[in-house]
Amino acid sequence: MTRILAFSDMHLSRTYAEAICAAAAEADLVIGAGDFCRVRQDLAEAMDMLRAVEAKAATSPATPSARASSAPPPVPPCCMAARPTLPG
């Protein structure tokens, strides 16, 4: 059975990031659905907080964050991890 942990709206909260990392220990796949920081400010810091889950994470910025700049941001290292294949 595949165990999936999905989250969003971290908004640079260290407390939330620590809870995500703790819960990720039991997950096979972690999905971060955006709003890791505020309009891409301090995105690198947010990704550092989630470093413990990078090997099994798939992430995507939220729509408002994606429109905040005309140029796409650099892809954080956790987003470049191999994506697990889900059954089905």
Query: 30-87, pLDDT tens digit by residue?
Result: 888 888 888 777 888 988 898 888 767 777 766 554 444 444 444 444 444 444 444 4
Confidence of residue 21 (pLDDT cuts 50, 70, 90): very high
The amino acid at residue 8 is S
Residue 55, pLDDT score: 67
Cβ neighbours, 10 Å, residue 67: 10
Question: Phi and psi dihedrals of 53, rounded to 5?
Answer: -110, 5
Question: Phi and psi dihedrals of 84, rounded to 5?
Answer: -65, 150
Strand order in the sheet with 4-7: 4-7, 29-32, 57-59
Question: Phi and psi dihedrals of 7, rounded to 5?
Answer: -150, 165
The Cα 71–Cα 3 span in angstroms is 35
pLDDT at 24 over 80: yes
Residue 64, pLDDT score: 52
The predicted model scores a pTM of: 0.65
